[in-house]
């Protein structure tokens, strides 16, 4: 009997839950295969495994190679969460995105996108503090970018590093309590930026209404940006010129009809694999596009999805699916492995 109870406790811990929480399903969803090329990326017997639940809105998954664990954000709860197969779920950082003393009146005070820089420091897009910052070893925040042209950023959302240390990030209004109508909004646009390794901030484009997820092609000649606007739910590809500016964008895919059909979620976070395939969260799941932007299929979650990220040996795709953390084991590898 005691051994059985211990096994149950261990299983619950592995899911990152407590004995009082509702039991999570072992798997959810399905794989919708639009093109045979998807079979080379996601095995036919692939399962969408549920790892943990009970969060409010999960985001920003990034793999900590040193700690062999996943870090992700629970934005409304203003925290960064750590998950590992060994230890389950624990708080890693709180507060994560809003460090003010006044009560935050909006829904998304916490950090959103996360990334590690070349020195292994955690970089955070902080909604409530309206900045991109670096976390020090003693868990203090150092501001990297909080203003453009003398005006405060809206609420940095997602980010990606180039090999030379340049940081690309998006700046929609979601962290502002009143979003577009917030009286403290200082910029009259939603930008995509590049913060150079030298600390110089450049506006790359302000044409997207709700720039959100962001990624680079393996050769770093193309910048991918998701637009989380229900009236223009699209993904765009921008050529990066030799001088660092962006050329004319090309539409990758338009999911506006799926949004209008009430499928849950919007184009949000995205990640790229080593071969240039794009894994992009959107209505009802994670869309998969080939390097030539062909729509290969979807990891169907059946819920809103915020972001995804590679982990373990680079072949496992972790997905922040609304209030849950799930994963899919693939036969490809993410950039950086």
Would you say residue 149 lies in a domain?
A: yes
Q: Is the pLDDT of residue 4 over 70?
A: no
Would you say residue 182 lies in a domain?
A: yes
How much is the average pLDDT of 279-288? 98
How much is the average pLDDT of 101-108? 96
Q: Convert the pLDDT of each residue in 34-63 to its tens digit.
A: 999 999 999 999 999 999 999 999 999 999
- Across the chain, what does the average pLDDT equal? 94
Distances (CA, A) of 7 to 3, 12, 14, 85, 259: 6, 9, 11, 15, 43
Would you say residue 15 lies in a domain?
A: no
Q: What percent of the chain has pLDDT over 90?
A: 92
Q: How many domains does the chain have?
A: 1
Would you say residue 14 lies in a domain?
A: no
Would you say residue 12 lies in a domain?
A: no
Q: What percent of the chain has pLDDT over 70?
A: 93
Comparing CA positions, the residue from 319, 67, 156 lying closest to residue 334 is: 319
- Write down the pTM of the prediction: 0.92
Instruction: Categorize the per-residue pLDDT at 22 as very low, low, confident or very high, splitting at 50, 70 and 90.
Output: low
The predicted pLDDT at position 21 comes to: 52
Would you say residue 1 lies in a domain?
A: no
The predicted pLDDT at position 6 comes to: 38
Structural domain range at position 307 = 24-329
Q: Is the pLDDT of residue 316 over 60?
A: yes
The predicted pLDDT at position 170 comes to: 98
Q: Is the pLDDT of residue 114 over 50?
A: yes
Instruction: Categorize the per-residue pLDDT at 187 as very low, low, confident or very high, splitting at 50, 70 and 90.
Output: very high
Of the ranges 15-24, 143-152, 207-216, 264-273, which one carries the lowest mean pLDDT score?
15-24
Instruction: Categorize the per-residue pLDDT at 23 as very low, low, confident or very high, splitting at 50, 70 and 90.
Output: confident
How much is the average pLDDT of 118-146? 97
**What CATH number is attached to the domain comprising 190?**
2.120.10.30
Would you say residue 243 lies in a domain?
A: yes
């Amino acid at each position: 009997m005691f051994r059985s109870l211990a096994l149950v406790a261990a299983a619950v811990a592995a899911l990152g839950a407590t004995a009082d929480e509702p039991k999570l399903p072992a798997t959810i969803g399905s794989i919708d295969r639009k093109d045979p090329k998807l079979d080379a990326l996601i095995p036919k017997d692939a399962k969408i495994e549920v790892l943990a639940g009970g969060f409010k809105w999960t985001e920003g998954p990034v793999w900590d190679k040193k700690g062999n664990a996943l870090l992700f954000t629970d934005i409304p709860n203003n925290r960064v969460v750590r998950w590992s197969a060994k230890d389950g779920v624990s708080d890693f950082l709180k507060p994560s995105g809003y460090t003010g003393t006044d009560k935050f009146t909006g829904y998304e005070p916490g950090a959103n996108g996360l990334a590690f820089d070349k020195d292994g420091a955690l970089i955070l897009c902080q909604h409530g503090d309206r900045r991109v910052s670096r976390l020090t070893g003693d868990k203090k925040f150092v501001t990297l970018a909080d203003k453009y042209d003398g005006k405060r950023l809206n609420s940095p959302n997602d980010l990606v590093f180039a090999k030379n240390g340049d940081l690309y990030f998006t700046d929609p209004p979601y962290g502002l309590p009143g979003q577009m109508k917030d009286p403290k909004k200082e910029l009259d646009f939603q930008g995509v930026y590049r913060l150079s390794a030298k600390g110089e901030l450049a506006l790359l484009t302000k044409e997207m209404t709700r720039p959100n997820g962001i990624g680079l092609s393996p050769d770093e000649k193309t910048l991918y940006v998701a637009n989380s606007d229900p009236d223009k739910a699209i993904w765009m590809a921008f050529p990066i010129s030799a001088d660092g500016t962006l050329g004319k964008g090309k539409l990758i895919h338009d999911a506006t009809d799926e949004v209008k059909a009430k499928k849950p979620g919007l184009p949000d976070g995205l990640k790229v694999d080593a071969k240039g395939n794009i894994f992009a969260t959107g209505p009802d799941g994670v869309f998969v596009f080939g390097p030539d932007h062909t729509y290969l299929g979807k990891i169907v979650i059946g819920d809103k999805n915020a972001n995804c990220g590679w982990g373990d040996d680079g072949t496992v795709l972790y997905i922040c699916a609304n209030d849950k953390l799930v994963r899919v084991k693939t036969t490809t590898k993410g950039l950086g492995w």
